[in-house]
Amino acid sequence: MQKHNNLSRRSFIKSISLASGGLVLACNVPSSKNEILKSIDNLNGFNPNLFVQLKSNGDLILIASRSEMGQGVRTSLTSVIADEMDADWSKVTVKQATGDEKYGNQNTDGSRSIRTIYEPMRQMGAKARAMLVIAAANQWNIDSSQCKTQKHYVINKISKEKIFYGDLVEEASKLEPPKNVTLKSPKDFVYIGKGLKSVDVEDFTSGKAKYGLDISIPNMKYATITRCPVTFGTVKSFNKEKAIRVNGVIDIIEIPRIKKAFGPLGGIAVIANNTWAALQGKEALEITWNYGDNVVYSSDTYMEKITKNVHKKGKEIKNDGNVNKAFKKANKIIESTFQMPHLVHSPMEVPNATAYVQDEKCEVWAPVQAPQSTRKEVSDYLDTELDNVTINVTFLGGGFGRKSKPDFVVEAVAISKMINAPVQVIWTREDDIQHSYYHAVSAQYMKGSLDEHGKVTGWLHRTAYPSITSTFMPGVNHGAGFEFQQGLTNIPYEIDNIRCENGKAEAYVRIGWLRSVYNIIHGFSINVFADELAVAANKDPLQFRLDLIGSDRIYPSDNDYKLDTSRLKKVLNIAAKNAGWGKELPKNHGFGLAVHYSFYTYVASVVEVSVINDKLKVHNIYTAVDCGTVVNTDTVKAQLEGAAIFGMSLAFYGKITAKNGIIEQSNYHDYKMLRIHETPNIHIEIVKSKEIPTGIGEPGVPVIAPAIINAIFSVTGKRYKNLPLEDYDLV
């Protein structure tokens, strides 16, 4: 077990242990941005978060509080501090924070990492820089205003002398951190807004990076778990004798279900000396199950049910103007129904966790997106204090929201406690696909009216899906407010009469968030329906969409992020210009577009496809994004490229179905991912902006599928409204 020296939870660290030859700064990062900015100058009343340690040899150690899953967050987060410090990036080392409330909100989901702690990180770097400048000025006996900094040095503007940061550590350690500092002008940024090499790229490419499955500790055992194929089913009987005879199997134990949102499903665990033995023992169990109430769940009948629900009046969510009156006066009425199945995250790395419980203490090594929630779940399960639980965050081989649900960690903790030894719990790909927290299945009904000029006068949108809140409150059968704000009630169209309703939909499996969450289903239906309206109005889809967005306006908001329609139109125009919208395309080629606002970010994509003899090829994706101030352009481009591939996978292959309560898909052969030869040219343009940073990990997904559907229509005249798209072979 690692020994931890806890820092004060209510003070800014003002001085350092000189014995270590270093200068340490830290600041609290509450979840609310307003709280963050208020607390920056309150040096005596907040918990430590992101740490800065400067050693006397010049080494700069920065601690990242968010989880790295390929999105470059360890590089982006720490480069902001380094930039404000005027640090030499070659001297930076990044260390990963353990799960602890002193780091503020550590959840690496919701596209929140940069947008919530960008300003505090700048303050941290600026305060460190200011202290180094004062230390140098004291040595030169000049005013600090006569100093400047550059790449790990303080420079005397009068004499041109310079002092290395490391040589200032002792003097700077004696100083009080300044209450007010001047932040850099964006024109002086060295790292922010540029493309910066990942601090982890060498470890990634050499195989040195430690993922969850790379963890190995002395006397560690290996475990696999067989869970009921039907959600919340229980064990009736199993063949322990046969499984225990497998060479290498140590024990067979039953894991009870823990009835919490992130509690294990329960099942039979096989404990072994190696992974292979655990897997072979699992195959020999011959379990008989009590399937329970959810055995009635079958996708076909469920889809029929929720589709009927959206064809009748639902629960009112938004009602502006009078849609019924608009429909009565309409020149044209367009109606459409959309259906989308469950989706699953299926990251390259399956869930896994290593745990060691000793008396009241527990240490965990796992690829988790929410280390604090994980710590709380473990603490609750063991009925021990939080301080007794250590969560070490490994690299994540993908996450997409799955690894923010720590059920797999609690499984490892439960088994370790039962066998009194360290254990690594390993999920197979089949476990991952068949026992997940699924993205919600959905049905949507839309009705729109056009006047004689082709202007939209009325808009009705009904949606039905099992809510994420059903995982926390069983029995919930309607959506939640935060779900409606994901592309439904915050529709940025200038329409006088809009009505949104929510139909009833029960949950029969665990429902969770997946990359872009309900923006996927609402972004799809709205963008396809808008294109359908454009055709009915006999108007160009691009101009029709710009007219639909309407005048430049800013919607009111209770936070610093306000939807600005001028920014939305701008990304749409850029994507269209880059694609060459309106130009003559080769025979059987066509363009389709989509635009969406999510996680406070504006994204538009234009997709070029060809359809020849029922073979479909996506040739190009042109995406424009406005995410405010960009920290790392390489990271933003990579996220948008990944979103395009993720979105295409969902559009062509994403489909999870159940029959008699059992998930029918099991591995990549029947839950496919996009292949390299199917991947198009992806062109990304980032809008330069001085606005506050917004999300980037998720906003690129919702536009891809509808843009593809609209492009197919432009070639074939066929309008598809259900996903995945199964009528064509993708080449």
Q: Is the pLDDT of residue 332 over 90?
A: yes
For residue 50, the model assigns a pLDDT of: 55
Banded model confidence at residue 16, pLDDT cuts 50, 70, 90: very low
Strand order in the sheet with 22-25: 22-25, 52-55, 60-64, 92-96
Q: Domain of 380? A: 212-292+351-426
**CA–CA gap between residue 307 and residue 342 (Å, rounded):** 15
Q: Is the pLDDT of residue 575 over 70?
A: yes
For residue 21, the model assigns a pLDDT of: 45
For residue 51, the model assigns a pLDDT of: 64
The answer on 564 and 635 residing in a single domain is: yes
For residue 173, the model assigns a pLDDT of: 86
| Secondary element (H or E) of residue 572 | helix 565-579
**CA–CA gap between residue 269 and residue 421 (Å, rounded):** 14
The answer on 617 and 688 residing in a single domain is: yes
Q: Is the pLDDT of residue 65 over 80?
A: yes
Q: Is the pLDDT of residue 13 over 70?
A: no
The answer on 42 and 162 residing in a single domain is: yes
Structure tokens at 213: 């499955």
The answer on 591 and 444 residing in a single domain is: yes
**CA–CA gap between residue 221 and residue 356 (Å, rounded):** 10
Q: Is the pLDDT of residue 646 over 90?
A: yes
Nearest C-alpha neighbor of 651 from the set 672, 677, 621: 672
Mean pLDDT, range 669-689, rounded to an integer? 97
5 in a structural domain: no
171-194 per-position pLDDT tens digit = 988 888 888 899 999 999 999 999
97-120 per-position pLDDT tens digit = 999 988 888 999 999 899 988 998
φ/ψ of residue 83, rounded to 5: -65, -50
The answer on 357 and 323 residing in a single domain is: no
Structure tokens at 592: 């389709």
Nearest C-alpha neighbor of 476 from the set 505, 498, 455, 448: 505
Q: How far is CA 431 from CA 365, 415, 436, 644, in A?
A: 20, 17, 8, 26
Q: Is the separation of the CB atoms in 442 and 464 below 8 Å?
A: yes
Q: Is the pLDDT of residue 22 over 90?
A: no
Q: Is the separation of the CB atoms in 288 and 267 below 8 Å?
A: no
For residue 23, the model assigns a pLDDT of: 58
For residue 120, the model assigns a pLDDT of: 87
Structure tokens at 256: 């009870």
The answer on 413 and 388 residing in a single domain is: yes
Q: Is the separation of the CB atoms in 530 and 494 below 8 Å?
A: no
Q: Is 415 left (phi over 0), alpha (psi -120 to 50) or beta?
A: alpha
1 in a structural domain: no
The answer on 537 and 398 residing in a single domain is: no
**Residue at 638: amino acid letter:** A
Banded model confidence at residue 369, pLDDT cuts 50, 70, 90: very high
Q: Is the pLDDT of residue 477 over 60?
A: yes
For residue 194, the model assigns a pLDDT of: 93
Structure tokens at 487: 């592309």
Give the chain's end-to-end CA distance (angstroms, integer): 52
The answer on 477 and 571 residing in a single domain is: yes
Q: Which of 111-125, 318-332, 599-613 has the lowest mean pLDDT?
A: 111-125
Query: Helix, strand, or coil here: 463?
Result: strand
Mean pLDDT, range 359-386, rounded to an integer? 97
Q: Is the pLDDT of residue 217 over 70?
A: yes
For residue 536, the model assigns a pLDDT of: 98
User: pTM value?
Assistant: 0.92
Q: Is the pLDDT of residue 380 over 60?
A: yes
For residue 24, the model assigns a pLDDT of: 57
Structure tokens at 97: 């924070």
The answer on 683 and 583 residing in a single domain is: yes
6 in a structural domain: no
The answer on 172 and 278 residing in a single domain is: no
Average pLDDT, rounded, for the chain: 92
| Secondary element (H or E) of residue 377 | helix 371-382
Banded model confidence at residue 25, pLDDT cuts 50, 70, 90: low
Q: Is the separation of the CB atoms in 631 and 620 below 8 Å?
A: no
604 in a structural domain: yes
The answer on 129 and 242 residing in a single domain is: no
13 in a structural domain: no
Query: Helix, strand, or coil here: 141?
Result: coil
The answer on 692 and 615 residing in a single domain is: yes
- The residue out of 426, 448, 482 marking a domain boundary is 426
Q: Is the pLDDT of residue 635 over 70?
A: yes
For residue 175, the model assigns a pLDDT of: 84
pLDDT > 70: what percent of the chain?
93
**Higher pLDDT among residues 27 and 52, named by residue:** 52
